[in-house]
């Protein structure tokens, strides 16, 4: 039986400078039908630049092929599946990009008067309303620029509310299954961080939590579903433990694509949370931004929300700066507006049933992969997985092969590697998240590739330890590359 392996040729490519040949041009124009004019004489010498020394001279077809070939050097969502975990949406519907480029929205200036910004303000109001309904919260601010920024905003809200009560308290609890930005955020806001261990099911150990919560506890920062892809089944009890001592619950909503339309954090006791609009609601993720970390909160935290707040009186939107308890502005203007437009377009295109369907598809795809690979890779936790499944390399390390080696071999099968060695509480983690957009045929190819690699490890570990074979560069000294990176091109002598 022939293996179904996806592959493509990735050619080496010279620099344009190396392809250059004197006299070549990338254009062809007819002879002038008017007298030639010296540009310097017509425009002035200061307005005309001199020839660029060494500027490459190449033909049009060479330019086209050069940049087309370069484009194949990067694996992209338009080429195939991204099994990376914890990044949620990889493919973003193109229609949302088109909506965000609507002239009246794309070119709106943040300093234009409110009377000329009513349409934009209505977009913001509609998105706040939709996100409040999706999360089960009472209010939303769209100012924060990304997830970690949203975390900081949320913990600042909690701190401000506790200060109003007379005691900001001293510590924040973070489960070991939470995102790494959670303890960093708590530290930045001035809290000591206390780690809470997970139990054998990959969930917060409630008994350990009860021991840790006291009058100095400001909040618990919990990621749900957490970084091992497991839903915190005791989240209601967890919230009750915090509330009984006057603390609050902050939820990291980076994995909300496993909950949208199915469960609302506000209904199970969460006081404040952030949403990564660039993860769950359609803005392309990666490359440093832009993003948006919308923060949803219960009513008791709304007075402390960042200014300005949107208000609607007599059919007119305006900005309210008169907020005596506010934590202040956390972002210039009113957030990354283009991201907000994309998010609203995504929500409106799907509607409630469509959003739920996307969530169920994401969960189904992850569990389908789990079932297809559980006979080949170790599963550290037996709890049902949500949007992502986390394996470990325990079986393969007996043959001297680790998770990074498996990821490199996966490249030869035409797939981008999964998330390697994260979350940290799983030794040798293989974190896989197909999202809702991958077809069964695509996932079957991925499962087939992973099964094939597992068999290769059993039969000939060296085959995997020397991978990848199909890339221009195979194994590199990663330590030296990190410590002594070569970031400037030098011509061959």
Nearest C-alpha neighbor of 434 from the set 353, 476, 373, 483 = 373
Residue 70 lies in a domain: no
Is the pLDDT at 488 greater than 80? The verdict is no
386 and 339, same domain (yes or no): no
Q: What is the phi-psi region of residue 213: left when phi exceeds 0, alpha when psi lies from -120 to 50, beta otherwise?
A: beta
Count of domains forming the chain: 2
The residue out of 349, 364, 389 marking a domain boundary is 349
153 and 187, same domain (yes or no): yes
380 and 276, same domain (yes or no): no
In what helix (H) or strand (E) does residue 194 lie, and over which residues does it extend?
A: strand 192-196
325 and 364, same domain (yes or no): no
Residue 373 lies in a domain: yes
Residue 29 lies in a domain: no
The residue out of 309, 334, 349 marking a domain boundary is 349
182 and 288, same domain (yes or no): yes
Q: Give me the domain span that covers residue 123.
A: 94-349
283 and 405, same domain (yes or no): no
The CATH number of the domain where 221 resides is what?
3.40.640.10
Is the pLDDT at 6 greater than 60? The verdict is no
344 and 379, same domain (yes or no): no
Confidence of residue 50 (pLDDT cuts 50, 70, 90): confident
318 and 441, same domain (yes or no): no
pLDDT digits (tens, 9 = 90+) for 471-480: 877 888 888 9
Confidence of residue 1 (pLDDT cuts 50, 70, 90): very low
Of 24-33, 270-279, 364-373, 453-462, minimum mean pLDDT range: 24-33
Mean pLDDT on 375-394: 95
Nearest C-alpha neighbor of 269 from the set 230, 294, 232 = 232
Tell me, yes or no, if the pTM score tops 0.85: yes
The mean of the pLDDT values for the chain is: 92
pLDDT digits (tens, 9 = 90+) for 216-229: 999 999 999 999 99
Residue 67 lies in a domain: no
Q: Would you state the pLDDT for residue 289?
A: 61
Residue 226 lies in a domain: yes
452 and 423, same domain (yes or no): yes
Confidence of residue 73 (pLDDT cuts 50, 70, 90): confident
429 and 339, same domain (yes or no): no
Of 143-147, 245-249, 266-270, 454-458, minimum mean pLDDT range: 143-147
Q: Would you state the pLDDT for residue 286?
A: 59
The residue out of 320, 349, 378 marking a domain boundary is 349
pLDDT digits (tens, 9 = 90+) for 306-320: 999 999 999 999 999
Q: Would you state the pLDDT for residue 2?
A: 42
* DSSP annotation string for 329-359: --SSBTB-HHHHHHHHHHHHHHHHHHHHHHH
359 and 333, same domain (yes or no): no
Q: Would you state the pLDDT for residue 370?
A: 97
176 and 129, same domain (yes or no): yes
Better pLDDT: 7 or 454: 454
Structure tokens at 402: 């680790």
First to last CA, the chain: 50
Residue 274 lies in a domain: yes
pLDDT digits (tens, 9 = 90+) for 116-174: 999 999 999 999 999 999 999 999 999 999 899 999 999 999 999 999 999 999 999 99
The CATH number of the domain where 365 resides is what?
3.90.1150.10
Residue 124 lies in a domain: yes
Residue 59 lies in a domain: no
Mean pLDDT on 475-487: 86
Q: Would you state the pLDDT for residue 79?
A: 85
Is the pLDDT at 440 greater than 60? The verdict is yes
């Amino acid at each position: 039986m022939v293996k179904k392996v996806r592959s493509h040729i990735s050619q080496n490519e010279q620099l344009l400078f190396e392809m250059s040949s004197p006299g070549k041009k990338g254009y062809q124009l007819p002879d002038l039908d008017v007298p030639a004019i010296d540009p310097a004489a017509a425009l002035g010498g200061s307005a005309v630049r001199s020839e660029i020394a060494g500027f490459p001279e190449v033909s049009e077809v060479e330019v086209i092929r050069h940049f087309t070939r370069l484009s194949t050097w990067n694996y992209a969502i338009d080429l195939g599946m991204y099994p990376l975990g914890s990044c949620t949406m990889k493919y973003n519907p193109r229609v949302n990009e088109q909506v965000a480029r609507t002239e009246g929205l794309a070119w709106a200036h943040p300093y234009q008067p409110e009377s000329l910004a009513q349409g934009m303000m209505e977009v913001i109001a509609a998105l706040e309303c939709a996100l409040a309904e999706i999360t089960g919260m009472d209010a939303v601010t769209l100012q924060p620029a990304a997830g970690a920024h949203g975390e900081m905003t949320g913990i600042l809200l909690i701190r401000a509310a506790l200060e109003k009560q007379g005691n900001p308290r001293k510590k924040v609890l973070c489960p070991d299954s939470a995102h790494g930005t959670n303890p960093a955020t708590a530290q930045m806001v001035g809290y000591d961080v206390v780690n809470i261990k997970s139990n054998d099911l990959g969930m917060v150990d409630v008994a350990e939590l009860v021991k840790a919560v006291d009058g100095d506890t400001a909040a618990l920062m919990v990621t749900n579903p957490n970084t091992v892809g497991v839903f915190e089944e005791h989240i209601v009890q967890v919230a009750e433990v915090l509330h009984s001592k006057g603390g609050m619950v902050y939820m990291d909503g980076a994995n909300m694509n496993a909950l949208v339309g199915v469960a609302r954090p506000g209904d199970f006791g969460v006081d404040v949370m952030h949403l990564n609009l660039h993860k769950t609601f359609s803005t392309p993720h990666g490359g440093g931004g832009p993003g948006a970390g919308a923060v949803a909160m219960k009513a008791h935290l709304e007075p402390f929300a960042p200014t300005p707040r949107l208000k609607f009186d007599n059919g007119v939107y305006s900005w309210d700066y008169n907020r005596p308890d506010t934590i202040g502005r956390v972002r210039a203007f009113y957030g990354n507006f283009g991201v907000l437009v994309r998010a609203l377009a995504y929500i409106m295109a799907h509607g409630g049933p469509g959003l739920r369907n996307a969530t169920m598809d994401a969960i189904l795809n992850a569990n389908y992969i789990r079932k297809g690979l559980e006979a080949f890779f170790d599963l550290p936790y037996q709890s049902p997985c949500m949007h992502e499944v986390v394996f470990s390399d325990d079986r393969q390390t007996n043959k001297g092969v680790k998770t990074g080696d498996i990821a490199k071999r996966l490249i030869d099968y035409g797939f981008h590697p999964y998330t390697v060695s994260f979350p940290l509480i799983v030794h040798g983690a293989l974190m896989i998240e197909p999202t809702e957009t991958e077809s069964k045929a695509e996932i079957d190819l991925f499962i087939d590739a992973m099964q094939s690699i597992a068999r290769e490890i059993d039969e000939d570990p060296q085959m995997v330890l020397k991978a990848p074979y199909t890339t221009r560069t195979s194994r590199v000294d990663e330590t030296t590359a990190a410590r002594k990176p070569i970031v400037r091109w030098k011509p061959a002598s």
